[in-house]
Amino acid sequence: MRIGLLGGSFNPIHKGHIAIAKTAIAQAVVDQVWFLPSGNHPFKSGKELLTLSKRIELIKIAIGEIPQLKISKHDTNRKKPNYTSKLIKKLYKSYPEIRFYFIAGYDILEELPKWHNYNWLKKNVNFIIVNRPNIDKDKTSQMYSNNFSFIKMAPVDVSSSQIRDLVKNGEPISSLVPASIKDKIIEYYGN
């Protein structure tokens, strides 16, 4: 089985995250996608995050009854930042029969060299990179090795920070988040 790992703070989850997961499955790159909300994101430690339990609640509701989408808590119980290399090693040890793919947007490519144990990741992890708005995919795809797969989808120009800002300003978010969680996002982020 091929599992796509979609990690992040999901602060909050939005239509872009779900579109990425569905695209990876629809293009037969993976069989399932596991959402991995981070308990302590290495690059976002100074930023205010909604509580982990509320972020998990929003993910569960948002992915609802789509059987190929799951939530995994492998990255949640950390008092200090968890690194992708450690997470992948742990997953391979726990599930040796599964082939894991780390899913990320094109915008993450510039950050990858800053990741902990980056050289190990480049050699040992399969990456699925999804296009994002305003990214020169030809330039970036030439920079990476054979374990990087690039998939195409209609870009969804949305970010979690954009949603939080809209909620704080009392502006509509219906086009950016699943209807099933819109009211809870307004409740959780509107204070």
- Rounded Cα distance, 110 and 24, in Å: 21
Query: Tens digits of per-residue pLDDT, 74-112?
Result: 777 656 667 888 888 989 999 999 999 999 887 777 788
Instruction: Show me where the domains of the chain are located.
Output: 2-155
**HSE toward the beta carbon, residue 179, CA cutoff 13 A:** 0
Q: Tokens 């915008």 identify what position?
A: 107
Query: Tens digits of per-residue pLDDT, 5-27?
Result: 998 899 999 999 999 999 999 98
- Rounded Cα distance, 75 and 189, in Å: 23
Q: For a pLDDT cut of 70, what percent of the chain falls above it?
A: 85
Q: Are 6 and 52 in contact (CB under 8 A)?
A: no
Amino acid at residue number 162: Q
- Rounded Cα distance, 83 and 46, in Å: 16
Determine the topology of domain 2-155 in CATH. Answer: Rossmann fold (3.40.50)
- Rounded Cα distance, 73 and 38, in Å: 8
Query: CA dist 190 to 19, 21, 93, 151, 173, Å?
Result: 25, 27, 41, 35, 12
pLDDT (0 to 100) of residue 135: 57
